[in-house]
Structure formats: C-alpha cells, structure tokens
Chain A
C-alpha cells in the first residue's frame, strides 16, 4: 500500500486542540456561526436531506415505469413526483452542491483568507435557502405541484390545479441564496487574496467558482423575475403569458431558459474545478495548459448566456433564430473539449494513484464526454426535432448533471473530507461504491438514450409494451445507483468518529488548504500565507514558503 493510504500520525499531524469543529458547542454556536467552514457543513447537511427527498421521488417513479401500464401510480401522482424530483434536485441539491458546500469551505482557504468577504451575508444565504426549501416542502406536503420543474405557461398560470404559487415562492426565495453566495465569492476572490496570490496562480477550482458566481449573479435574477411574473399572473389573473388574455407563453420560455440553460453550467463548472484539482494531485503532475482551463471556464460562462434558444426549436421560434442558437450551442463544445483534452494530457505520463477521488474524476471525464457529445446531437436542429421531449433528452442531461456534476461533487467530497473532518474515509468501501455508482448510473441512463431514439416521450406514466425491457434495465440500474449513494452516506458518518486521523495533508497535495491542520482552526491560517509559486507545482521539490 502506498503511504497515501495509511499515513503515519506524527505528533505534529494530530488535529489542533481547538479547531473550527470544537470551537463552540451547542446548537446556537452552529445556527449563528459566521465561519465559512461551519456554514459549509450546514449546507452539507441540508442538501443531503434534499437529495434524499429528490431521490425518493425518483425511486417511486422508476418503480412505476417497471410496467407499461400506469398501475402503481396514477398519472397525476406520477406528474407530481417527476416535478418534485426535478425541482428538488436542480434548485435544492445540484445548484448549491459544490459552490455552497465545497466552495464555501475552500474558497477562503485556497486563496489564503480568514473568511469570505461577507460572513454575515453568507449565513443569511443559508437561512434564505432553508426558507425557500420550507416553502417547497410545504407545497409538497399540501399536495404537490405538477408543472414539471420548468413551470411552462399557460399550464402553470391557468390550468394546473396544484400548489404552483407556493412552489414558485420557494424557488424565487432560494434564488437569492445563490445570488448572495455568488456575490460573496466574486468579492472574496477579487479582494481577499493573500500576498503573492496572483490571478494566474489561483487554483483552477477558484476560477471555476468565479465563473459560476458570475452566472449566479447575472442569470438567477432573471429566473426570479420570471417566476415572480408566473405567481402574480396566477394570483391576479393577469395576461402576461396567457394567450387567452393576449399574452405570449413563449416569452416565458425565453426568460426561463435565459437562466436555466446557464444553470447547467452552474452545476457543471464547479465540478470541472474539482476535477482539475483531483487530477493534478493524483497524477503528481502540473496541470496541462493552466491558462486554457482557466479561461475556458469563463468562456463557458459567457457563451452559456447566448444559447438558450436551443430549448425552443419546436416552440414556434423562427427557423433563423433556431439556426443561430444551434450554431452558438455547438460553440460551447469548444471550451468544454479544451478542458477534457487538458485533463487527459495531464494524466498522460503522470504517476497515477487510483485513490477514490481520482476514480470519480475519471468517471466524470467519461460520462461528461458522452453527455457533451450527445449535447451536440440535440443542438442540431433536425435531430432535435426527432428527439425533442423524449428520453434521449433525459439521458443527455443526466449524463451532464449526474454523471458530471454529481460525480464531481462526490469526488470533491472524498478529496477534501480529510480536511473537513480531520479523518480518512475507508478507502476500500469508497472505491467499491464509486464503482457501483458508475455501473448503476450507466445502466440507468444508457437505455434511456435508446428509448428516446426509438421515440418514447418523457413525462408519461404509461408506455407501449415494446419499451418494457429497456425500462426494466433502467429501473434496475436506478436501484444499484441508489445503493451506491447509500454506502458513502454510511461510511462518511462512520468515519467522522472512527476514521483514522488524516493529518494536514494525507494526499501530499499542493494548495494552501493543505498547509493548514485538519480540521483547520477558525482563522484558517496561523500566519498570513505568502505565495511564491504557481498552483500545482508538483515537480518542484522545495516546500511552499508559508508565513
């Protein structure tokens, strides 16, 4: 076994007597904390809770889809379940996942700061998130909502008989939590960097967070206002989107996708940041093409604002607009491919250590590539007309959002778990569950590409008999995937108490966060660090000058 797996605990590796975890006891010290690391843990607990709600909804509708008839669930219940799954997973799990948990924990540590620029706003954003979550849960408990996570008009404003306004309020409120987190990160990255931490020395995770924060800042308010208009149209019978009252339902789609396409990058960009960190560490090499990866994050963020029309190829959008949106959408493939090539080049001739985070990173590269390439399929006008609103789309975006973003999140959580808790997770179990997740994921979603190509539409509880085999495969994969998610849940909790002590830097990784003790103290650094070298200086033998 490599020394990475079983670190020898020298006295200097013991966790500090007072660290951020035991600096205060009691529920108040957590609920009123302004420490970015504690707020990260508040988010970790809350989004894990939401993840299991969204997952439970998926379990139910995958069970329903075992048989062609709508037997286990009525169509209305089925509609509510996929809506809950989409809403919870997008707004209450994926969007906050890496930024609010890992970003909150790491952004100040990676740039050598004591905290984010606005700790109180950081805590406020968690409370806003929880209030928004409460609204959404209330809507679910009262009887749910069946509009799909997209709230398309005029169904959502006129015809739906479910709790649209409460749900809309929940999404509206939660939006401000990501706006405030984004604002906090942007200011922190601009103004709080330690001496010597120039832009081109920033870890790529920081670049990814910066690009994500820009989208949060500029995209989320547009979603907020569109949802607000839905709510007031429904409440006061206004005619902004309702064609019966002279409004234009497609206008809503424009406003909604102006945010919700970039929202995909809110999910995937931070995961890309994680992958860059993990790959360099476990191939013991400098990243290949640092500046290209950094700039490609910004390029994805900017381009992402100009492609929303690819969701509306069949929504009466003009053919010329469709052509332009199709062309621009393919453009996004360039910065994405730049990243994939650079990661592969980094792995090439590296001294690779197959630690769990790297397994997730490799899984990410493979699945993201499939998700990205099928994205080119659906950005092509003619193919999209064929596969629009079929399971092909479902499979495509799950390869990006689950195969990409969620794999990145889990990889990052494993990678920084020793820093967060001061303890190691059990490596064997972790590798096993990474494998289970990879297999379960592909078994769930690859058949859906075929189903969609054969013409099975999304959002129906019943389907023709000939689709059953592929649907049973998909449901079987989903149960494997579910087990794969439960195992880390169990061993992470186990390791908080019984895991071996990690020491400050169990992976021998570069980066300022690894120069602090695990778990870090409330102030992060004993002395303000001075940075004298670029990020990922893995071949350089001298130690980083700290202090």
Chain B
C-alpha cells in the first residue's frame, strides 16, 4: 500500500478511491442522522399544526413573508455557488475556488443577518415565547407553541448554517494553500453535501412556517 499512497491518503485506506467512497458514505450516513434529528421537531410541528390549525395559521401571519422569500432565494443562490466551488476544486485553479467559496460564505452570512433582523422584529413585537409573550389573536396559548417551534426549528437551522460557515472558512484556507486538485477534493465535496442538506431543510421550513394557512 505504501508505494501507491499520496500525501492525503490515510494509513487505514488502501487507495484514494476507497478513501473517497468511505468519506462519501460517512457523510450520507451523517445526513441520515441529521434528518432524524430535525425529524423529531417536524413531528412535533405536524402534531400541533393538526391539533390547532387556526392558532397556527394566525401565528404564521406574523412572520415576515418578504424577508423569508428573500432568504430562500439567497440560500438557493448559495447552493449554486457551492456547486461551482466543487467544480472548480476539480477543474479550475485556486482563484476560482476561493472566489466561489467566499461567495457561498457571503450568501450564508447574508442569510444569517436577515434571520437576525427577523428575530429582532419578533422580539420587539413580544412574540418570543416566555414571560414577555403577547399575542392579540384568538388563541395565544397555542400561538405560543407555534413560536416556540418557530424559534427552535429556525434556530437549529441557523446553528447548522453557522457551523457550515466555519467549514467554508476552513476550506477557503485549504484552497488558498493549493490543497485541492482533480485527484483530491474530498473535503470540498463533503462540505457541499452538508451545505445542500442545510438548504433543503430550509426549503421545508419555509413553506411549513411561512406559507401554509397564510391569508
């Protein structure tokens, strides 16, 4: 095994192919875990949405549809730049790699900033559950559950975005040092899988929280 090995081949693997296959399967397995992780909250959401449809519809009208839509567009755009980053890690030079990685990072930061603005609005409108919660609809108790789930789900999603941003910074540094080529680009590919997954979670969160029952 030693004569064939490249610098990036870990000792437990026989060849780069096995290493790439193992990393890919590992990432998919991790995403399966993540689906179940979010799944618990989606289940809770489904239960309460079915139990209290009016309260949930009334509460969801208090979300800012414009900011939500803009954020959806920003995230989809970031998925595109991420794909281009993977492509350039294989086939293009350092400049293109770093550009697309930084573009993805920038879009991710925009998403998080907009999310922060939305959270601030909710705070001023006393829609954060807890002692200061005030809701002038028909069923404030169950509207509070909606907002509990809203903050828990989008908060957990945002936490994943923050982790993703950290990974993108690490990738940018590695890419700047010229670590990636057509032979070895596994880290870029793995982070891309993660990033797309986080986007897909948002693609589910957006209609569930912002759109259903809107009038």
Does B associate with A? Answer: yes
Please tell me if A443 contacts chain B, counting CB pairs below 8 Å: no
User: Are B26 and A221 interface neighbours, CB within 8 A?
Assistant: no
> Which of B27-35, B63-71, B164-172, B174-182 has 4 or more CB atoms under 8 Å from chain A?
B27-35
> Which of A84-92, A135-143, A243-251 has 4 or more CB atoms under 8 Å from chain B?
A243-251
In B14-30, the 8 Å CB interface with A consists of 14, 18, 21-22, 25-26, 29-30
Question: What A residues does B51 contact at CB under 8 A?
Answer: 248
- Tell me the interface secondary structure of chain A in the complex: helix
A213-254 vs B, CB cutoff 8 Å, 1 = contact: the mask equals: 000011111101110110011001111100001111001001
Please tell me if A72 contacts chain B, counting CB pairs below 8 Å: no
**A217-B129 contact given A115-B12, A226-B40, CB 8 Å threshold:** no
User: Are A240 and B145 interface neighbours, CB within 8 A?
Assistant: yes
In A172-201, the 8 Å CB interface with B consists of 179, 183-184, 186-188, 190-192
Please tell me if B131 contacts chain A, counting CB pairs below 8 Å: yes
User: Are A240 and B47 interface neighbours, CB within 8 A?
Assistant: no
User: Are A183 and B29 interface neighbours, CB within 8 A?
Assistant: yes
Please tell me if B138 contacts chain A, counting CB pairs below 8 Å: no
Closest B residue, CB atoms, query A255: B40
Please tell me if A106 contacts chain B, counting CB pairs below 8 Å: no
Please tell me if B152 contacts chain A, counting CB pairs below 8 Å: yes
In A317-350, the 8 Å CB interface with B consists of none
User: Are A239 and B32 interface neighbours, CB within 8 A?
Assistant: no
In B57-107, the 8 Å CB interface with A consists of none
Q: How far is the CA of A38 from the CA of B160 in the complex (A)?
A: 32
Chain B count of residues within 8 A CB distance of the other chain: 38
Q: What is the number of contacts between chain A and chain B, taking CB atoms within 8 Å?
A: 115
Please tell me if A113 contacts chain B, counting CB pairs below 8 Å: yes
Please tell me if B121 contacts chain A, counting CB pairs below 8 Å: no
Please tell me if A117 contacts chain B, counting CB pairs below 8 Å: yes
Q: Which one, A188, A221, A228, A247, contacts B33 given CB within 8 A?
A: A221
User: Are A251 and B47 interface neighbours, CB within 8 A?
Assistant: yes
**A225-B144 contact given A114-B12, A117-B12, CB 8 Å threshold:** no
Please tell me if A116 contacts chain B, counting CB pairs below 8 Å: yes
User: Are B37 and A221 interface neighbours, CB within 8 A?
Assistant: yes
Please tell me if A119 contacts chain B, counting CB pairs below 8 Å: yes
Question: What A residues does B129 contact at CB under 8 A?
Answer: 236-239
User: Are A191 and B22 interface neighbours, CB within 8 A?
Assistant: yes
Q: Which one, B26, B141, B144, B152, contacts A229 given CB within 8 A?
A: B152
Please tell me if A118 contacts chain B, counting CB pairs below 8 Å: yes
Q: Which one, B21, B38, B144, B152, contacts A246 given CB within 8 A?
A: B144
User: Are A218 and B33 interface neighbours, CB within 8 A?
Assistant: yes
Closest B residue, CB atoms, query A185: B29
Question: What B residues does A225 contact at CB under 8 A?
Answer: 37-41
Across the A-B interface, the 3 shortest Cβ-Cβ residue pairs: A225-B40, A221-B37, A246-B141
Binding site for B on A (CB under 8 A): 108, 113-119, 179, 183-184, 186-188, 190-192, 217-222, 224-226, 228-229, 232-233, 236-240, 245-248, 251, 254-255, 523, 528
